[in-house]
Structure 1
Amino acid sequence: MRKYIDHSDGCILMLKAPFPANEAARLRALRALEILDTPAEDRFDRLTRIAQHILQVPIVLISLVDAERQWFKARRGLDASETPRDISFCGHAILGAEIFVVPDAAADERFFDNPLVTQAPDIRFYAGAPLTLSDGMRVGTLCAIDRQPRQLDERQLASLRDLAQCVTDELELNTRLRRLRELSLIQARYAAIIESSEDAIMSKTLDGIVTSWNQAAERMFGYSEHEMLGNSMGRLIPQDLNNEEPQILARIRRGERIEHFETTRRRKSGDVFPVSVTISPIRDGSGAIVGASKIVRDISERKVAERMKSEFVSTVSHELRTPLTSIRGALGLVVGKFSADLPDKVRQLLETANRNSERLTLLINDILDMEKIKSGQMHLDFKKLDLVVLAKQAIVANEGYGQQHGVSLKLIEMPRSAMVRADELRMMQIFANLISNAVKFSPKGASVEVAVRPQDGGFRVSVRDSGSGIPKAFHSRIFQRFAQADSSDSREKGGTGLGLSITQAIIDKHGGAIDFVSEEGVGSEFFFLLPEWQDEVAVKRASRDQPHMLICEPDHENALVLSELLAGEGVTSDWAATTAAAVELLRTKQYRGVLLDVGQPEIDGLSLIQRLRDNEATRYLPVIAVSWWKREDSDVRDVQGLSILDWLQKPVDRQKLRKALTQALLTDHRPRILHVEDDLDVVQVTKALLEEDADYTYAATLAAARSELAHGRFDLLLLDLTLPDGFGLELLSAISPETQVIVFSGQDPGAALKRHLTVSLTKATTSNERLLATIREAITPSRK
């Protein structure tokens, strides 16, 4: 719809330019330039002078179209610094991307009665090139005005377009310079923070090459910035942790942030010291990860303090236990056997002493457990356990405690079984903590209800009481050490305030979670979740282009480390935690090899290997043994007989694993032998000799042999030298480097050629037994 406005005296009607569809965003872009109402600048005035000269017009303006005005950043031939937007030609020009041209405004129905046409400056000709920012916003024009009707030729239009782009570049240069100043200020602040930090701060590429190194890093490690820039971060890592950096880099490539990772590092002096490391991915402008920043804190003093505290607590606790055991025993004996003959007052005092000796024992045990958890010394014996059985046992074990308080224990809901991977002793400790808490806070005559339910691929175990509930103000602190809702609780109900904190830590180590719901005056329910036992722990989809291997390792963290190492070599993997799981996966899936922990009770390594060798489908599957033990120190016997490809000691060295993988990926099938021989009697005997050990193919000529080599891969080339169409050794250039070569010929190849061969045998002096043994030696993976 055409919009007209009544201007000044109401007698003039003219067409007003509509607002662009993106007007709000356009105005934000204009104001972000911070150019409006700024003083004249030569860089803009220069462009208007050039335009005036090229276009031969009396007026040239750099016009910025604001909400209600057009303001001139630069002007030639006009005194006004701005005019109303509603009568502007530029308001029309910014509606399109091309140059807006009005050859004769007096003859144009849009402008013939415009005050800028009927009065000074008497516009007849107008050409406005939009000033289009890099984000597409048109904020104004570079316009040329004449008092006579006219046209611009193509050369002049091109010049106007180019000059408008120059104006736009200058406008955006302001923004870029301002941002550069802001970035410089931020950079200076960060640099000051980095250089004044007591922590070592550094950055590296995804290959582990150092790209920055602050002064604290120099002080901490003893290497100067000059010594570290451009060199590998690996020189800071102790030799026994060589596989750590590749694993860290793999996590960074996936975009993970690693926080407060505690490990050790090596100074220039060779000293190894404990550190806490936080690592974050560095991304470029497109979001791609290009490196990592690293903050390293020396925690030597903290570790010394922790060790001293731990030793102190442990010593004191153990020293207290010895006399306390005697005190508890004596008091228990007196109260149990002789209290009936004692006066009531004496008996009450003895019972009080006995009760408090029990509390003191619990306190010492809890403190020791807490120290074990904090120091990482709480070792768990994971087994396949039934939570239903454990819940029943826990109720029986705590029934006497409930009777003392007049509270009954009930198992109200349970599935047939609830199998989990857990430590039996610690699970009973969890049940005891939760049940005893529920009993203590329940009124006499009440019941504590225990339930086991399936939930989200695992099991939910709950303990519900009908006590006074937990105040809301205390909810956030319920799992903190020594936390109790009221200090009077410990005196009235007994307890150390450590039970729930210990329970949470144990459940965390089981890969579970604990929480609670509580309502004051109604009661509380504490519950924990544990994942269901799974023989097959982790299965990944194998890519057609990537080798796929099976990791047989009962420990989750060790399996993850091995999986990361394999991933770093371009190998995907599945994980089985038990022998049964491994057998099932090997039955249903195809693998290029097996990484087998031979030192854990959950996996009978020798039995599994024997089953592989007895099965035609897996007889030649490469097995790489992994163990904390050296091969010579292990109980594994007959290693060669079971065809173990390699033996890697934990922690696994990446270079040794790479070498073993290379060999494994070449030997994951029944060996294939190409026998190049033109004597059919020799072929018949050799084929009969090898049919149990390998797939046998023969070629009677060089041409036939070349065809076989071109269409298939062979593990061994058994080669006669004299053939109908040439010399056998001509085939050496056609085989892959991995193919073994045995010359089996009537003539000796000579010393110069023997160095290119695996072995050389002469037909006349070689028995069948020796030939078979030599070939077996060449194609057995563990002996290459």
Structure 2
Amino acid sequence: MYTELPIPDNELDRVMGLSDYNIDFTSTENNFKDLAKLAASVAGTEISLVNLIDSYTQWTISSHGLNIDQMPREESVCQYTIVEDEHFEVTDLSEDVRFKDRFYVTNDPKVRYYYGIPLKSNGLNIGALCLLDRNIKSLAPEKTELLKIIAEEIVNRLNAYKIIDSLRNKVTEVTSTQNKVVHDIRGPLAGIIGLAQIVSEQGKENNMDEVLEFINMIYKSGNSILELADEILTSENKAVTLQGGELNLKTFREKLEKLYIPQARSKNIDLPISISPETDNIPFSKSKLLQITGNLISNAIKFTPNGGFVNVKLALIQKEISNVLKIIVKDSGIGLKQDQIDSILSGDSTTTHGTDGEKGYGFGLALVKHLIEGQKGTLKISSDESGATFEVELSQ
């Protein structure tokens, strides 16, 4: 018997909203490390995590006190936080039937206390700022208010990086748009810095150490983003580098291996990722590629029995007008019936359980279809007794 999963009413909109950030989960730790540390300091907890939750996985984009990159969504506590408006608190995880058998409760770090605040973006809870401790605790109201401010700053910073990433992709094409976006970044951030200076001075007089630390860190982070905006503004005549908004087949494979081999190993599944060597250094836009391919890989792992395989093939085919990126994900799983394939391609796919008891949320493949259509690409699905194959083609 499966425990009912907490799913937000706006789940498809929520995962689509998260995908709009086009986040590369392999390179986010340093962007939010100061805020994760600050949250733990304010709450007085040993551990704090900044988590984003997609269709299958909880991604920890920054952490303090615990080294963790990801976990299956169905095993997380934060899946309950994202269905709340304000917060979700569990005084003792070991006494809660939903969590008492989780690995992080029964084994190291053996956490007991949990407090989570939703990360809200345009009315959508895309993740959670969570505080964890090995001892039972309680948080004073003034501390929870400060934690809400930190959660808002995390989303503000995500939005700033989203704008900057978009700007990098267009820096050589649309100078006027570039100037406007940088101006839009500078205005609110300059206001934050000015306010931080005022509150910092008042804080010193009142000896508010926690508030001072919070304000000072926002002041430093705001300045760093302003410096980055200035750097982009002065790079008008520079070519867009691979590190900006592009990948090649080599870097694409490296990122997929880092993100999804841990998931495959948890079920003893082989996950080879091959690339076409003749075009492995040609750059292409990374927009939505990690989201599309990652969801296909996670879905394949979910429906492949222990000891099976998920083969991924990446190829860039050179064409006269534009290149075509081809992504093939084939698994040795339980396969799909034709009505299931039709349902996926029509956007009506529903949730099912995986081969190892994993619970489903029903929106992973719907998101993939939406993203591919947004990129004006194509999705083909085939299946037989040996497993299912998903084939994507995207113009580059």
TM-score range, shorter chain: 0.3 to 0.5
The normalised TM-score by structure 1 is 0.22
Higher relative contact order (CA 8 A, sep 6+): 2
Report which of the two has the higher share of strand.
1
Q: Which has the larger radius of gyration?
A: 1
The TM-score with structure 2 as length reference comes to: 0.42
